[in-house]
Amino acid sequence: MSIFNGLAAVEEEILKCMKCGNCQAVCPLYKESRQEPAVARGKIRLAAAVLDGRLKPAETLARRFDLCLTCLACVATCPSGVKVDRIILAARTAMVREKGLPFIKKTAFTGLSRPHLFDLGIKTAARLQGVFFKRLEQEKMQPRFPLGLELRRIVPPLASVPFRDRVAETHKVERPAATVAFFTGCMTNYLYPEIGQATLRVLKAHGVNVIIPRMQHCCGAPLLYNGAADMAREMAKSHVDLFGSIRARADAIITVCGTCGEAFKHLYPELLDTTPGYGKKAREVADRIMDITRFLYRLPFNPNLFRAPELSITYHQPCHLGRGLGVVQEPLSIIRSIAGVIYQPLKEPGRCCGNAGSFSLTHYDLSYRVLAHKLRDIKSSGAQMVITGCPACRMHLNDGLTQEQMPQKAVHTIEFLAGILAER
Amino acid sequence: MSIAQAIEALRRELGDENVITAVEDLFCYSYDATADLPEQRPDVVVTPENVDQVVKVVKIARQFHLPVYPRGSGTNLSGGTVPVKGGIVLSTLKMNRILEIDPSNLTATVQPGVIIQDLNNAAVQYGLIYPPDPGTVATATMGGSVAECSGGLRGLKYGVTRHYVMGLEVVLASGEVVRYGGKTVKNVTGYDLVRLFTGSEGTLGIITEIIVRLIPAPQARETMLAGFNDLAGAGNAVAGIIGAKVIPATLEIMDRVTVETVENYARVGLPTDAAAVLLIEVDGIPEVVKSEAEAVKRVVVQNGGWIKTAENDEEREKLWSARRAALPALARRKPTTILEDATVPRSKITDMLLALEDIGRRYNLVIGTFGHAGDGNLHPTILADARDEEEMKRVRGAVEEIFRTALNLGGTLSGEHGIGIAKKKFLPWEAGKAGMQVLKKIKQALDPDNLLNPGKIVDLEEDRA
Ligand SMILES: Cc1cc2nc3c(=O)[nH]c(=O)nc-3n(C[C@H](O)[C@H](O)[C@H](O)COP(=O)(O)OP(=O)(O)OC[C@H]3O[C@@H](n4cnc5c(N)ncnc54)[C@H](O)[C@@H]3O)c2cc1C
Ligand code: SF4
Ligand code: SF4
């Protein structure tokens, strides 16, 4: 049974929790609040209480399940191997099914689930954004009005032309070493087209053909992580169809965002398991999903294409990329294989930056407090630049770095690589 | 006088931010790490920020006749924090400041909500350590570990929590604040109440400040892993090491079931045909460490075992990871994990291990045993499924028999996990009738209205009725 069909699917998982409390040592939210409902153990007990009928779904209860970054730190440390994220997602889905979504989320998710409307809406917004945001510099904007965003928050401007509208659908090289399909994700498409461009350039330098299927849209992760599984099903199906059809032509389906990767790799197969005609197909697509750094690492990566960077760097490991997809060593290995790179590690590279997608919208204050730990770590690393493998982490880090007036800038690993390509 | 009025009073005195009443949140304070215990919700949770607020809570509790359940991180294994009679759970987690590290007196002064590891991280900057290290160093609070008198992996050489507590500030059930002990190494002024409150499991007073002893970090250490084909060999080696006048910092044992399970789960390279494995660490001055390690190796070989020595930090980490994997590996075999800590004199460790094997067979249960062999403190870990009532009956039968065996061997019900609710009914076996009376009189003298953690260690009600 799928976790998106009710809490019963995670009964075993709940039972496995021996209540040892070890998750307290690593939960970023518990470290801030020091209250039991914030930690995995607390939320698991709540899920248990719902399952055996002692608690009824309620908006107040849903709020407790919302209090989780799905950062997987607890999962990695749990002696019993409890998959806490599965319990949280099952509980959120169960809450939404009983109580519905809050109005704002419902509106936003409806938008995301209708690709054409969403695309049009964003393009319109890109034209109008000056009305609502003031531009601080090239890449940074601050809301003029509280648009459901904190006024102090620094966000990137929407791209005037989205990435996928800027580039061709296929990019061929002579005598290709491999062919990949590229799933760009929304943030790369609408906020950071430079991440997409960088991906193309580095892949091209390595002699890789790239296909960017036109019909792709939002992976649906924001919906799946917020319990709106029913709305996400069609989105998942269309991507499984789309990438399933080019699977045979592509050696891998590349992502540049750990969360998109998680959606394809782990959530789609779960979501579509019992959907007629989709179970097997979703698993086949999942098998081809690969983070850009893992793909390059296995290609193999050619360090001679790059020249030494001017700045010393550090690396922040995105939760879904590291603990979710298991991409831990690859980005570091490829970066460190380049001659002249000065890498100054963080003390806790895998600690969540606090963004967690929509969590930073609904809980900005808490999200920023979690970020503060990361900023301190960056500061004491002494590095001059932060590299990370996820556009959302990149945004959150830059928000904090700007607000704290720190000199470092955060960029995606692939942007960093594209920036030091020897032949331009 | 109603609960609502009490909550009103608590809000007035502590502020809304320190009073928790939402039913979902209360659910999260209805358990601790103890298996096979019913959950019970408190009526309210308070998170005082200082001793004055603790006093206020106790006074309000008195006024409204509500029990107070002190709680640190809720990782104890005896039901110590479950609010069996409802009332107030007092979380110490907001009192989490390290007040002072005093390198000239080798002491640290902390609030009760400080996590043990955080104290260690602060002490290490002075080249000092706080030795008590329960398996939960990274989560347990100083208050909780003092109240449980926690042990850990270094008990053999360095002792347990009580050997480090020098002074305490305690809020009594009357609402008065008392301080006993201090920074002096010697102190015989009056009865030794620091020791009384240490290990009192929150039943005699609420600890609000703790002065502990720190010691210089050892300069060198050597870590070894030894394997034996029979339990007796391992047991004799433990006795032999001590007999050779070596007191290792760590002398841990894992039995056959544990070794097999660990190897299956973590593939750390343990031989699965070994009847028992010992993890041994000696530490101190480099020359001494060297000669002690030699002695350990001799004893192991004399007793028919093999031994591996870690040549560097990486290898050391590998040997330790085998021991650290014990609980996780066992816990994954079945959904419910019951962790016991019956303890025997060191010389009886082989007898106890054999008895545990026998109990597992007779009750048809998987029991993996690991633990602090050097202290005679074993953790027989029973693996079961809470949904299987028949199996749980056998578990309870086996647990009783484990306790009985430990007592017959001259041991004790609990080496470090405490009595709480879980072992309350067995306490008379060890304390006897007169012994129980003394415990009750102590409780009555300090907490005549049974406000503090009622229902734990001793019951006063049954006598009154
Ligand atoms: C996986 C695991 C491994 C463990 N390993 C060990 C081990 O190796 N050695 C060992 O000894 N224990 C071990 N334990 C038990 C437990 O971790 C310790 O007893 C720990 O010290 C409890 O700390 P806590 O902060 O969680 O206390 P809690 O569980 O919150 O409380 C423990 C008791 O202290 C009382 N209390 C808490 N704070 C105060 C206060 N300020 N004033 C008065 N009373 C108070 C509570 O009422 C309760 O009775 C283990 C537990 C687990 C789950
Ligand atoms: S670490 Fe795992 S088993 Fe322990 S309380 Fe947390 S979720 Fe449960
Ligand atoms: S996933 Fe992260 S935020 Fe959520 S409970 Fe686990 S450690 Fe805490």
The residue assigned the tokens 């296995």 is A298
Indicate the pLDDT class of residue B1, thresholds 50, 70 and 90: low
Classify the C-alpha dihedral B221-B222-B223-B229 as positive or negative. Answer: negative
C-alpha to C-alpha distance for A347 and A350, rounded to whole angstroms: 9
Nearest Cα of chain B lies from the Cα of A377 at a distance, in angstroms, of 16
Residue with the bigger pLDDT between A374 and B271: it is: A374
- Interface check B141 vs A, CB under 8 A: no
> What does the pLDDT read at residue A340?
94
- Do A212 and A254 touch, CB atoms closer than 8 A? no
Q: Does ligand 1 lie within 6 Å of residue B76's CB atom?
A: yes
CATH no. for A304-419: 3.40.50.1860
**Is B377 close to ligand 1, i.e. is its CB under 6 Å away?**
no
C-beta neighbour count of B321 within 10 angstroms: 12
pLDDT exceeds 80 at position A151: no
Q: Say if strands B68-71 and B88-91 run parallel, antiparallel, or are unpaired.
A: parallel
pLDDT at position B157 is 95
What's the mean pLDDT in A206-217? 96
Which residue lies with its CA nearest to atom 4 of ligand 2? A20
Q: Match domain B98-216 to its CATH number in 1.20.1420.30, 3.30.465.10, 3.30.70.20, 3.20.19.10.
A: 3.30.465.10
**Structure confidence by residue, pLDDT tens digits, B286-306:** 999 999 999 999 999 999 999
Environment class of B387 (CB within 10 Å of its CB; exposed 0-12, middle 13-18, buried 19+): exposed
pLDDT score at B465: 40
What top-level class would CATH report for the domain B220-408?
alpha beta
Longest alpha-carbon distance in chain A: 65
CB-CB neighbors (< 8 A) of A34 in chain B: 47, 91, 93-94, 96, 113
The pLDDT assigned to A332 comes to 98
- Cβ-defined contact of B30 to A45 (cutoff 8 Å): yes
A148 pLDDT tier (thresholds 50, 70, 90): low
Q: Give the amino acid at B452.
A: L
pLDDT for B462:
61
**pLDDT at residue number B47:** 98
DSSP, collapsed to helix, strand or coil, labels residue B449 as coil
From the alpha carbon of A80, which atom of ligand 2 is closest?
Answer: 3
| C-beta atoms of A21 and B139 within 8 A | yes
User: B51, B170 in Cβ contact below 8 A?
Assistant: no
pLDDT score of A149 more than 70: no
* CATH label, A3-99, candidates 1.10.1060.10, 3.40.50.720, 3.30.70.1450, 3.90.550.10: 1.10.1060.10
What pLDDT is attached to residue B460? 86
Across A289-384, where does the E strand assignment appear? 289-291, 313-316
Which of A10, A16, A20, A63 has the highest number of chain B CBs within 10 A, making it the mutation to test binding with B?
A20
- CA pair distance B316, B311, nearest whole angstrom: 7
Query: B13-16 long-range CB contacts below 8 Å, 24 or more apart?
Result: B13/B53, B13/B56, B13/B57, B13/B60, B14/B46, B14/B47, B14/B48, B14/B49, B14/B53, B14/B56, B14/B57
- Mutating to test ligand 3, I would choose from A31, A41, A70, A373 the residue with most ligand atoms within 8 A of its C-beta, which is A70
**Class for the domain spanning B3-91:** alpha beta
Q: How many angstroms separate the CA of residue A293 from the nearest CA in chain B? A: 28
Residue B463 has pLDDT above 60, yes or no: no
Please count the other Cβ atoms lying within 10 Å of the Cβ belonging to residue A331.
27
Angle A22-A23-A27 from CA coordinates, rounded to 5°: 145
Domain coordinates of chain A in residue numbers?
3-99, 304-419
Residue among B27, B74, B138 whose CB faces A49 most closely:
B27
- Residue A101 confidence class, pLDDT cut points 50, 70, 90: confident
Q: Where are the domains of chain B?
A: 3-91, 98-216, 220-408, 426-464
Q: Does B29 touch chain A (CB under 8 A)?
A: yes
Mean pLDDT of B343-367: 95
pLDDT exceeds cutoff 80 at A131: no
The DSSP annotation for B241-260 comes to: HHHTT---SEEEEEEHHHHH
Q: Which atom of ligand 2 is nearest to the CA of B33?
A: 5
Asked if B136 and A80 come within 8 Å (Cβ–Cβ), the reply is no
Among the bound ligands, name the one nearest to the CA of residue B173.
1
Give the span between the Cα atoms of A190 and A167, in whole angstroms.
13
DSSP class of residue B171? E
Write the residue in A37, A79, A80 that is nearest to B24 by C-beta: A37
For residue B135 the two structure tokens come to 């398996």
Mean pLDDT for chain A overall: 93
* Distance from the A341 Cα atom to the nearest Cα atom in chain B, whole angstroms: 26
HEC string for A337-348: CCCCCCECCCCC
Q: What is the pLDDT of residue B405?
A: 97
B386 touches chain A (CB under 8 A): yes
Is pTM beyond 0.90? Reply is yes
Of B144-158, B253-267, B420-434, the least confident? B253-267
Residue ranges lining ligand 3, Cβ < 6 Å: A 26-29, 40, 68-74, 84
Q: Is the CB of A289 under 6 A from ligand 2?
A: no
Between β-strands B107-110 and B98-102, what pairing exists: parallel, antiparallel or unpaired?
antiparallel
* Residue reference for tokens 């079931």: B257
Q: What is the pLDDT of residue B363?
A: 97
- The pLDDT > 70 percentage for chain B reads 99
